[in-house]
Amino acid sequence: MRTAGPLPPLWWGQCVAPCWPDLQLTLAGSATQLLLLDLQPRQRAAALARLQPFARRHRLQLQPTPETRLQPWLQRLFARFPEPPRQVCWLALGTAFQRRVWQALQEIPPGQTRSYGQLAAAIGQPTACRAVARALAANPLLWLQPCHRIVPATGGLGGFRAGSTIKRQLLVQEGWIDDITARFGC
């Protein structure tokens, strides 16, 4: 994870998500670093609506790129699906607290989950459950920073920006559960 220094020229692009044909994948980054990976229903306007405030908040100038230029990134990202790639460099744009939360997510192996409280304790702030939840909601790299592995201690799936159906699919694909309805009744 890179967190300092001048930003290189940045691009953004959209395509159908390789593993989820009903979802739009929005990527943004540089030649060597990924800045944003977002999954949304296939509605271009919705994905752009999320990307524009993100770019303004971080003072980024993003240039559109054709879908064909996304292919090298897609190959690197999805080569070992459902496991996220280990060797992708990304730029963490967030507060120091958010970056600590996102870094702690990397320690949760595929097929395992943690509660919001366990994640808060892992970063040394066991009473910061709600702040952890807000940091997860701001996670710019869905699936790569695996916020889908965080579930409520009381049961159920909890929230996920891409929706509970995608969260359920990711957890099933990672082998956390064979049938989520048997585990939580949802």
Helix (H) or strand (E) holding 135: helix 129-137
Catalytic, out of 15, 19, 129, 147: 147
Half-sphere exposure of 182 (CA within 13 A, CB side): 5
Q: Verify whether residue 89 is a known catalytic residue.
A: no
* Rounded distance between C-alpha atoms, residue 95 and residue 139, angstroms: 11
Task: Note the Cα 30 to chain centre separation in Å.
Answer: 17
* Rounded distance between C-alpha atoms, residue 93 and residue 84, angstroms: 19
- Catalytic residue numbers, as ranges: 147
